């Protein structure tokens, strides 16, 4: 918490504001003596507030100084539908349920290897985990030296480092594989893989792409079953 100071005339201001105003009281606008206001700091620290995502389902009541940290990882953070023709914005729980009902995706289960066919004209393929309904996107593009692939995840920041994916390509004369953590964002946009991607050289043709997505660790944000 930023320290609070009180001037000789009783005006309270934070230490950051004092620095910006060159040690002049922001209310008085003249240089004055300042004292550390511990009482006000304790009062503010004791306040309990609701998460900004309450309207999206979060029921947390937090101490004021812990609010920002919680909201950065809140699983009810607003997420946007990855279908470009849809404008839905909701908590990730509601979004996943919406997507499974109103849009199409290739279903898979964690820890299982599955084959994925990606045409040269396709820029992405949307995947959805069968039980928890978490959305992943396989990004793809054809570049000068071949084809490139990687995987993103649609979800809140608490999902970061929560998954690991492996892409494997097998052909008659080659086997290429990459294991990586997907990029996580609340609002996905179509893009060419530009970081941590698997490259398939142009000379390799007729290959099959295998995908496997795993949970990196047991998390508290499990959405299994009818928890939507």
- Transcribe 6-58 into DSSP letters: EETT--EEEHHHHHHTTTB-TTT-SB--EEE-HHHHHHHHH-EEE-TTGGGT-
Is the per-residue pLDDT at 218 higher than 60? no
Give the whole-number percent of the chain exceeding pLDDT 90.
Answer: 50
Question: Is 38 inside any structural domain?
Answer: yes
Is the per-residue pLDDT at 51 higher than 90? no
Is the per-residue pLDDT at 128 higher than 80? yes
Which pLDDT value is given to residue 179? 97
Mean residue pLDDT of the chain comes to: 85
Pick the more confident residue, 12 or 85.
Answer: 85
Q: For the domain that residue 148 is a member of, what is the CATH number? A: 2.60.210
Question: Do both 25 and 115 map to the same domain?
Answer: no
Question: Is 187 inside any structural domain?
Answer: yes
Confidence of residue 184 (pLDDT cuts 50, 70, 90): very high
Question: Do both 116 and 35 map to the same domain?
Answer: no
Question: Do both 122 and 205 map to the same domain?
Answer: yes
Does pTM top 0.95 for this prediction?
Answer: no
Is the per-residue pLDDT at 35 higher than 80? no
Question: Is 92 inside any structural domain?
Answer: no
Which pLDDT value is given to residue 221? 45
Alpha-carbon gap, residue 193 to 95, rounded angstroms: 24
Number of domains, the chain: 2
Which pLDDT value is given to residue 43? 67
Question: Do both 113 and 18 map to the same domain?
Answer: no
Is the per-residue pLDDT at 45 higher than 50? yes
Confidence of residue 40 (pLDDT cuts 50, 70, 90): low
The string of pLDDT tens digits covering residues 185-204 is 999 999 999 889 999 999 88
Question: Is 210 inside any structural domain?
Answer: yes
Confidence of residue 225 (pLDDT cuts 50, 70, 90): very low
Q: 3 is written with which tokens?
A: 């320290």
Question: Do both 110 and 210 map to the same domain?
Answer: yes
Which pLDDT value is given to residue 50? 82
Mean pLDDT computed over 44-63? 78
Mean pLDDT computed over 109-130? 97
- Transcribe the chain into DSSP letters: ---EEEETT--EEEHHHHHHTTTB-TTT-SB--EEE-HHHHHHHHH-EEE-TTGGGT---EEEGGGHHHHHHH-TT-EEE-SSTT---EEEHHHHHHHHHHHS--EEE-TT--EEE---TT-SEEEEEETTT--EEEEEEEEETTEEEEEEEEES-GGGTTSEEEEEEEE-SS-EEEEEEPPEEESS-------SS-EEEETT--S-EEEEEEEESS--S----SS--
Give the whole-number percent of the chain exceeding pLDDT 70.
Answer: 86
């Amino acid at each position: 918490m930023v320290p609070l100071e009180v001037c000789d005339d009783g005006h309270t201001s934070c230490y950051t504001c004092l620095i910006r105003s060159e040690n002049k009281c922001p209310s008085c606008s003249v240089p004055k003596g300042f004292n550390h206001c511990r009482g006000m700091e304790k009062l503010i620290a004791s306040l309990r507030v609701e998460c900004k995502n309450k309207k999206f389902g979060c029921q947390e009541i937090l101490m004021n100084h812990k609010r920002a940290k919680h909201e950065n990882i809140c699983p009810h953070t607003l997420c946007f539908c990855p279908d470009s023709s849809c404008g839905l914005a909701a908590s990730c729980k509601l979004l996943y349920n919406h997507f499974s009902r109103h849009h199409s995706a290739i279903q898979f289960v964690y820890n299982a290897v599955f084959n994925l066919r990606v045409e040269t004209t396709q820029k992405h393929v949307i995947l959805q985990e069968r039980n928890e309904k978490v959305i992943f996107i396989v990004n793809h593009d054809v570049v000068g030296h071949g084809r490139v692939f990687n995987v993103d995840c649609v979800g809140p920041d608490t999902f970061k480092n929560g998954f690991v994916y492996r892409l494997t390509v097998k052909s008659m004369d080659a086997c290429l594989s990459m294991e990586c953590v997907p990029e996580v964002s609340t609002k996905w946009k179509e893009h060419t893989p530009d970081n941590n991607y698997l490259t398939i050289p142009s000379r390799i043709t007729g290959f099959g792409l295998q995908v496997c997505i795993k949970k990196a660790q047991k998390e508290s944000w499990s959405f299994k079953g009818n928890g939507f």
